[in-house]
């Protein structure tokens, strides 16, 4: 699993853009997004630099965040903040 911190990801639209861009690189990739912690975790056969470029091409700033700051067990793909 490749994990990135994406601090400028702030909406569901951001999630869609990032997922679409990553899937353009590897359509078999599994993309898990935690909106609360601004974390994108990707399971892919593509190299990390290619996935980082995909996130950057979507208009966001991807930073390496390994080890994963949030454990993903596969049961939750998207975590959204509750109303403020």
- Scanning the structure block, which residue is given the tokens 């980082």? 52
- Residue 60 burial (C-beta neighbours within 10 Å; 0-12, 13-18, 19+): buried
pLDDT of residue 74: 52
Cβ neighbours, 10 Å, residue 80: 12
Q: Are 37 and 80 in contact (CB under 8 A)?
A: no
Mean per-residue pLDDT for 32-48? Answer: 89
Confidence of residue 35 (pLDDT cuts 50, 70, 90): confident
- Does residue 68 have a pLDDT over 70? no
The kind and range of the H/E element at 55 are helix 48-57
**Could you tell me the pTM of the whole model?**
0.73
């Amino acid at each position: 699993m490749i994990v990135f911190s994406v601090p400028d990801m702030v909406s569901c639209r951001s999630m869609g853009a990032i997922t679409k861009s990553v899937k353009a690189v590897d359509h078999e990739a599994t993309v898990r997004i935690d909106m609360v912690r601004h974390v994108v975790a990707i399971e892919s056969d593509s190299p990390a630099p290619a996935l980082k470029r995909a996130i950057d091409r979507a208009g966001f700033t991807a930073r390496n965040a390994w080890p994963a700051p949030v454990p993903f067990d596969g049961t939750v793909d998207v975590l959204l903040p509750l109303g403020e």
